Amino acid sequence: MSALYSTTVNAIGGRNGTVKSTDGLLDLRLAMPDSLGGKGGATNPEQLFAAAYGACFGNAVIHVNRNKQHKIQDDDVEVAATVGLESNGSGGFALRVKTR
């Protein structure tokens, strides 16, 4: 199966670095959240993941509805995606995702 779309984003410096897409449309500073002992003041990977997850989940709802008799408008779909970073109990981390 061939990909319908692909993109590349370069991440430099980890959680206190930068992310930039090869087309230049995404170009952001990252900062560890102050709640995790960082400086804050910039976006973080969990926010980016929540934004992407929410947009993709919302588009899936819109797509499934396209063939229904009562169509919804794109702006009718709002997704609140929450991404949490948790300890996995083995010295590592796990992501938790919740939508509403």
pTM: 0.85
What residue type is 44 in one-letter code? N
For residue 99, list its beta bridge partners.
Answer: 81
pLDDT band, residue 17 (cuts 50/70/90): very high
Q: 87 pairs with which residues across the strands?
A: 93
Q: What are the tens digits of pLDDT across the range 20-77?
A: 999 999 999 999 999 999 999 999 999 999 999 999 999 999 999 888 888 888 999 9
User: Backbone phi, then psi, for 89, in 5-degree steps?
Assistant: 80, -5
| Section 5-33 average pLDDT | 97
Domain map (residue ranges) of the chain = 1-43, 44-100
> Which CATH number applies to 1-43?
2.20.25.10
Tokens of 100: 């509403």
